[in-house]
């Protein structure tokens, strides 16, 4: 009797416990690199978050929401977005997109942009659908497409180094129009666009967006437009919203993040803006998964947007000040890296910068027959031996293309001046050691 019981128990235990949709999704480089940075880094320019304080007006709004007279802010709010927040977002994006928006049906608040992305893939991508992803890409797109049963189809931005010996810019990484067009077929359900792009900092031009839009309309394809860095644009460049181009509103979900917009990544407030015909399905996913994010955080973000609405385009606006400060930080890091020969690719937007490590190759011991890309070994060696944390660029490529881009690492420059100085000191010392050895 016991024998029989034991066997049936064992049989049950040997069945895989995890759902098939998780197969191959269990590895995540962020866990590894965040741990390495926590253990070894003296200066962490790896993961993307500011180490400077959030603006006072926003933390004050949070404190008021927390301790002010309205105790109902500690309770549930509307599932698809706290009413004051969806209202001000509808007002704000009306200005940006040039069309009237209904706060109740054209805007949905999510747990960070991350959950807005997850809702898009779950709601819009079916078993067998293809989703075009432009490389290099924010790494969660691929597993999210696969978890929805879709197949990612990759198309690379190709670097065209300037001939005059000048530093490369993120604008020098471009899509090949014919190659892009060749990825669209009757199986294509959506394309993921991320402008400004993490990790390169590329801000897609009107021409590039027009080409993508034309293909979306021609093939009846949806666009998931991740615009979390929409305010972080430099050198007077302009962020163009693909939803505002001809024929695109009806097929685009635009995604934003308070984390990036107001330097509060830990609050995890994000949103999706789009036509009801798409958002109604995102609401179904949201309703049946997380329901909503913290009411107090939504209330404070609403107040932040109300302030920004009044100050729109004025010098006091945070959306004017933040990019100005970040551009200065970008320029410091560009100088530091260029000074030691770790050639930076100057980003037009975001708070990331990709640098070429080819000249530092000899510092890091080669591991013959390793299938780990060189940039990944380099980044691990650098944090362990120099105390400087960055993220290998190959992380932002599909498995098939990882080994074609292994000479670059990504730095985050949304950091205090002191942090960037400390990074500069490490790089200078490293260079001196190289030249004296
Ligand atoms: N999209 C991109 C391109 C990002 O870089 C990030 C954050 N690193 C997100 C989405 C996620 O944003 P959030 O923190 O609001 O979830």
Average pLDDT, the chain: 94
Residue that finishes a domain, picked among 278, 311, 344: 311
| Strand spans (E) along 333-398 | 344-345, 352-356, 388-389, 391-392
Q: In a mutational test of the pocket of ligand 1, which residue from 138, 197, 347 has the highest number of ligand atoms less than 8 Å from its CB?
A: 138
Domain co-membership, 254 together with 160: yes
Neighbouring C-alpha atoms within 13 Å toward the C-beta of 145: 24
Is residue 303 within 6 Å of ligand 1 at its C-beta? no
Res 322: pLDDT = 98
The whole-number pLDDT of residue 8 equals: 61
Is the pLDDT at 115 greater than 80, yes or no? yes
Q: Are 130 and 188 a contacting pair, CB within 8 Å?
A: yes
Task: Indicate whether 1 belongs to any domain.
Answer: no
- Across-strand partners of 255? 226, 272
Residues paired with residue 349 on neighbouring β-strands, in sequence order: 233
DSSP, residue by residue, 301-332: HHHHHHHHHHTTTSTT-HHHHHHHHHHHHHHH
Residue 241 sits in the same domain as residue 193: yes
Question: What is the DSSP code string of 190-246?
Answer: EEEEESSPTTT-----HHHHHHHHHHHHHTT-EEEEE-TTTT-B-TT-----GGGST
User: Are 252 and 193 within 8 A, CB to CB?
Assistant: no
- At 434 the pLDDT is 83
Q: Do strands 222-226 and 188-194 pair parallel, antiparallel, or not at all (unpaired)?
A: parallel
Q: Is 194 close to ligand 1, i.e. is its CB under 6 Å away?
A: yes
pLDDT of residue 401: 92
Domain shared by 67 and 94, yes or no: yes
Whole-model pTM: value is 0.95
151 and 199 in a single domain? The answer is yes
In a domain, 113, yes or no: yes
* Residue 122 located in a structural domain: yes
The answer to whether 57 and 81 have CB atoms below 8 angstroms apart is: no
User: Taking a C-beta distance cutoff of 8 angstroms, is the pair 189, 124 a contact?
Assistant: yes
Q: What is the mean pLDDT of residues 84-98?
A: 98
Residue 29: its pLDDT value, please?
81
Last residue of a domain, one of 311, 341, 360: 311
In a domain, 21, yes or no: no
The predicted structure's pLDDT at residue 274 = 98
The answer to whether 351 and 342 are in contact (CB under 8 A) is: no
Mutate to test the pocket of ligand 1, among 47, 202, 228 (most ligand atoms within 8 A of CB): 228
Give Cα separations from 101 to 89, 242, 372 (angstroms). 9, 16, 48
225 lines ligand 1 (CB under 6 A): no
Q: How many CB atoms lie within 10 A of CB 338?
A: 14
Q: Is the beta carbon of 349 within 6 A of some atom in ligand 1? A: no
Mean pLDDT of the region 225-230? 98
- Judge contact between 403 and 316, C-beta under 8 A: no
Count how many domains the chain has: 2
pLDDT at position 26 is: 80
The answer to whether residues 354 and 366 belong to one domain is yes
The helix (run of H) or strand (run of E) holding residue 410 is strand 408-412
Whether residues 275 and 323 share a domain: the answer is no
What does the chain come to in residues? 437
Closest ligand 1 atom to 48 CA: 8
Residue 270, strand partner residues: 110, 257
pLDDT in tens, 197-206: 999 999 999 9
Same domain, 39 and 107: no
**Is there a single domain that holds both residue 36 and residue 65?**
no
Q: Which residue has the higher pLDDT, 87 or 23?
A: 87
Whether 225 is covered by a domain: the verdict is yes
Give the least confident one: 238-252, 294-308, 362-376.
362-376
- Ligand 1 centre from 258 Cα, in Å? 10
> 24: pLDDT confidence band, cut at 50, 70 and 90?
confident
Domain shared by 49 and 60, yes or no = no
Task: Record the tokens describing residue 36, joined without a space.
Answer: 């390495």
What is the rounded distance in angstroms from the CA atom of residue 289 to the CA atom of residue 395? Answer: 28
Same-domain check for residues 181 and 273? yes
- Residue with more model confidence, 68 or 240: 240
Is residue 225 located within the same domain as residue 329?
no
pLDDT band at 9 (very low <50, low <70, confident <90, very high): low
- CATH, residue 345: 3.90.1150.10
**pLDDT digits 0-9 by tens, 122-175:** 999 999 999 999 999 999 999 999 999 999 999 999 999 888 889 999 999 999
CA of 261 to the centre of ligand 1 (A): 11
Question: Using a 6 Å cutoff on CB, does residue 48 contact ligand 1?
Answer: yes
**Whole domain around residue 339: which residue ranges?**
26-54+318-436
Q: What is the CATH number of the domain that holds 187?
A: 3.40.640.10
Residue 14 lies in a domain: no
Residues 173, 78 within the same domain: yes
Two tokens at 418?
A: 């002191």
In the structure, what pLDDT confidence band is assigned to residue 361 with cuts at 50, 70 and 90? confident
Instruction: Tell whether ligand 1 has an atom less than 6 A from the beta carbon of residue 110.
Output: no
Give the pLDDT band (50/70/90) at residue 353: very high
Asked if the structure places residue 374 within a domain, the reply is yes
Mean pLDDT of 99-104: 98
Residue 242 has pLDDT above 90, yes or no: yes
User: Domain for residue 272, yes or no?
Assistant: yes
Query: Residue for token digits 């049906």?
Result: 105
Name the band, by pLDDT with cuts 50, 70 and 90, for residue 41: very high
pLDDT at residue number 1: 56
Lowest model confidence (mean pLDDT) among 223-237, 270-284, 362-376? 362-376
What's the CA gap between 18 and 11, in Å, rounded?
16
Averaged over 241-254, what is the pLDDT?
A: 98
Q: Which of 283, 311, 339 finishes a domain?
A: 311
């Amino acid at each position: 009797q016991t024998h029989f019981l034991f066997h049936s128990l064992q049989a049950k235990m040997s069945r895989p416990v995890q759902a098939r949709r998780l197969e191959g999704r269990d590895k995540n480089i962020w866990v590894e690199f965040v741990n390495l940075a926590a253990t070894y880094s003296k200066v962490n320019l790896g993961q993307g978050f500011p180490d400077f304080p959030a603006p006072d007006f926003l933390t004050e709004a949070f404190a008021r929401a927390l301790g002010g007279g309205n105790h109902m802010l500690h309770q549930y709010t509307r599932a698809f977005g706290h009413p004051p927040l969806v209202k001000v977002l509808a007002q704000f994006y009306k200005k940006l997109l040039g069309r009237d928006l209904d706060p109740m049906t054209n805007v949905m608040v999510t747990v960070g942009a991350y959950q807005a992305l997850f809702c898009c893939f779950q709601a819009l991508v079916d078993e067998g659908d293809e989703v075009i992803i432009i490389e290099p890409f924010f790494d969660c797109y691929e597993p999210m497409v696969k978890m929805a049963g879709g197949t990612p189809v990759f198309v690379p931005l190709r670097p065209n180094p300037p001939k005059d010996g000048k530093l490369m810019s993120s604008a020098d990484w471009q899509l090949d129009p014919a190659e892009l067009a060749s990825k669209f077929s009757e199986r294509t359900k959506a394309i993921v666009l991320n402008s400004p792009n993490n990790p390169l900092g590329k801000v897609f031009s009107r021409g590039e967006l027009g080409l993508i839009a034309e293909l979306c309309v021609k093939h009846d394809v949806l666009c998931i437009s991740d615009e979390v860095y929409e305010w972080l644009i430099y050198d007077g460049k302009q962020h163009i919203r693909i939803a505002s181009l001809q024929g695109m509103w009806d097929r685009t979900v635009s995604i934003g993040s308070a984390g990036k917009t107001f330097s509060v990544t830990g609050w995890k407030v994000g949103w999706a803006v789009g036509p009801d015909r798409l958002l109604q399905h995102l609401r179904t996913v949201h309703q049946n998964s997380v329901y909503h994010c913290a009411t107090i955080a939504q209330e404070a973000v609403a107040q932040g947007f109300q302030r920004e609405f009044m100050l729109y385009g004025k010098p006091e606006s945070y959306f004017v000040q933040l990019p100005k400060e970040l551009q200065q930080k970008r320029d410091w890091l560009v100088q530091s890296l260029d000074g030691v020969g770790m050639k930076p690719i100057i980003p037009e937007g975001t708070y990331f910068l990709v640098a070429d490590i080819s000249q530092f190759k000899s510092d890091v011991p080669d591991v013959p027959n390793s299938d780990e890309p060189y940039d990944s070994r380099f980044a691990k060696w650098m944090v362990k031996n120099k105390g400087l944390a960055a993220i290998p660029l190959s992380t932002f490529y599909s498995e098939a293309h990882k080994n074609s881009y292994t000479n670059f690492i990504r730095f985050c420059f949304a950091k205090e001046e002191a942090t960037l100085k400390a990074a500069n000191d490490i790089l200078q010392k490293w260079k001196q050691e190289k030249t004296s050895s």
